[in-house]
Amino acid sequence: MKIGVFDSGVGGLSVLKKIKEKIDFADIIYYGDSLNSPYGSKSVEEIQKLCLEIGEFLIDNRVDIIVIACNTATAAALDTLRERFTSVPIIGVVQPGAAIAIKESKNRKIGVLSTPLTAKSRVYEKAIKTINSKYEVFQKGCELLCPMIERGWESSERNTELLKSYIEQLPNDIDTLVLGCTHYPLIREDIEKLIGNKKIIDPAEETAMQVLFELNKLALRTGFKKIKKDKIGIDYFVSGDIEMFRKVGERFLGEKLLNVYQPLIG
Ligand code: DGL
């Protein structure tokens, strides 16, 4: 079995990491569209077009499932991708993130840090309120974070101040903070230092659970035997700067990224 995972760059590695921890019988193809990053300041139409191209690439590479490891792409293109590619399940990160945030929040006030597009789409508010309308959701778009993480974020006083300026724009009485951009788990420690005892939600964990659930369903349906691999194969396709991707990715994953290629699209 093969899992296709994509993001606008390195952020989706936070989802890949959790998938790797939970699934040992499937290989992974990761697509990082860093040439077109950041998605968060593009139009919905532009993002849909890019996601359709990536979807084709993954389907051509025979994946059994597509994971949109990007909140912005989930907000802009989940439905579009599901309409176009009907042969495989397609999973986004917002629904899993919303479900866990609801479980964790006690005072029903949830904050979400995300890209400007995700914040503007109010996708988390909609997902959370669909499950339970009694929750309040506050979203803050953080324009500068994704590009800075993509280039290799350094923990510094200046960057802490920037993070603080975003967090301070959320109400102080939220008890739960969703990392509503898959790049943000890469700087989780810096965020944690600034939010006191609020709970941090990283949708990646629950997303990986959903991927496992879908693959189990598929295995049952097709009679596929899930055999544990000693080491799953991961191929990385990066549309932009491969060396930068490798550097930031290796730092986050704590391992060498061996098979990194430039795709023919992008
Ligand atoms: N990791 C993407 C997300 O979760 C970042 C999107 C961007 O490129 O702006 O939204």
Strands (E), 64-221: 65-68, 90-91, 109-114, 136-141, 176-179, 199-201
Q: Is 7 in the pocket of ligand 1 (CB under 6 A)?
A: yes
**Cα torsion at 102, 107, 108, 114 (round to 10°)?**
-80
pLDDT at 266 > cutoff 90: no
Spatial strand order in the sheet of 109-114 = 136-141, 109-114, 176-179, 199-201
Which of the listed residues 183, 186, 201, 239 should we mutate to test ligand 1's pocket, taking the one with most ligand atoms within 8 A of CB? 183
At residue 29, φ and ψ (nearest 5 deg) are -115, 125
pTM exceeds cut of 0.75: yes
Structurally, at CATH architecture level, domain 2-92+204-261 sits in: 3-Layer(aba) Sandwich (3.40)
Task: CATH 3.40.50.1860 in the chain: give the residue spans.
Answer: 2-92+204-261, 94-203
Write out pLDDT tens, residues 153-202: 999 999 999 999 999 999 999 999 999 999 999 999 999 999 999 999 99
Q: Which CATH number fits domain 94-203: 3.20.20.140, 3.40.50.1860, 3.50.50.60, 1.10.8.60?
A: 3.40.50.1860
Provide φ and ψ at 32, rounded to 5°.
-110, 115
Q: Is 74 in the pocket of ligand 1 (CB under 6 A)?
A: no
Q: Give me ligand 1 centre to Cα 179, in Å.
A: 11
Evaluate if residue 16 carries a pLDDT over 90: yes
What is the 219 CA–ligand 1 centroid distance (Å)? 31
pLDDT at 265 over 80: no
Whole-number pLDDT of residue 3: 98
**Residue nearest atom 8 of ligand 1, based on CA coordinates:** 38
Average pLDDT over residues 118-135: 98
How does pLDDT run across 192-227, given as a tens digit for each residue?
Answer: 999 999 999 999 999 999 999 999 999 999 999 999
